[in-house]
Amino acid sequence: MTILALEFSSPQRSVAVARTDRVLGEVIETGAGPAGAFNMIEAALREAKLEREQIETLAVGLGPGSYTGIRVALAMARGWQLARSVKLVGASSLDLLAAQAQAERIFGRVNVIVDAQRTEFYLATCEISERGWNVIEPVRIVTAGEIRARAGAREIVAGPEATRWFQGGRTIFPRAATLTQLVVQPDHSVGGEKLEPIYLRETNFVKVPTRKSATD
């Protein structure tokens, strides 16, 4: 199976191409948003020495994280599926962070975090070892104070920009290369018909009333 993976949920965006269990190409960018997504895809395909027509499965990091980035990745994947009839799969970006922590040999009780804005964070607590990892406290939204208490108790806190918020935090990012490995595991992936962004808090849009003119 040849997989193209898109992970745009964090400030570090990545695209990867893999065949079975081997990563053939990966492009990583950090900057002002996912506007260059198509260029990243083309660069990853060139590195893998593959054409678009050879992609059989598209994998997407579903968040939680950047609303815009996740929506862009999903829109691109769905558009590609309409054009090429490929398979779509996705995985939680917090699961990706746990897998990435294992790859970077961050072992023990690890509090994986993602900024949820409003001085709150998405948090999932995992037990990670060389043999694997499993979730011991599922994802939820918590205050910065709760995470500081965990860090103060010498628990590991890891995630995108973790060092910006918490002393002793470990900065790790969800990566598309890791996503290609995770989505082949049924316990950590969801199929195309269930592909939706993961948010624990509703996104609220406020409609501003139109001001009437003096002639109305």
Measured distance between the N- and C-terminal CA atoms of the chain, rounded to whole angstroms = 62
Strand partners, 57: 3, 87
pLDDT band for position 64 (50/70/90)?
very high
Per-residue pLDDT reduced to its tens digit, 74-118: 999 999 988 888 999 999 999 999 999 999 999 999 999 999 988
Domains of the chain, each with CATH number or no CATH:
2-93+174-194 (3.30.420.40), 94-171 (3.30.420.40)
Q: Do 121 and 97 form a contact (C-beta atoms < 8 A)? A: no
Report the C-alpha gap between 86 and 19 in whole angstroms.
15
pLDDT above 70: residue 208? no
- Predicted confidence at residue 3, as pLDDT, reads 96
How many CA atoms are closer than 13 Å to the CA of 91, on its beta-carbon side? 28
The answer for residues whose C-beta is within 8 angstroms of residue 61's C-beta and 6 or more apart is 5, 6, 7, 8, 9, 70, 73, 90, 91, 92, 93, 96, 174, 176, 179
The answer for residues whose C-beta is within 8 angstroms of residue 5's C-beta and 6 or more apart is 14, 15, 16, 17, 18, 58, 59, 60, 61, 176, 177, 179, 180, 183
In single-letter form, the type of residue at position 74 comes to: L
Mean predicted lDDT score pLDDT of the chain = 88
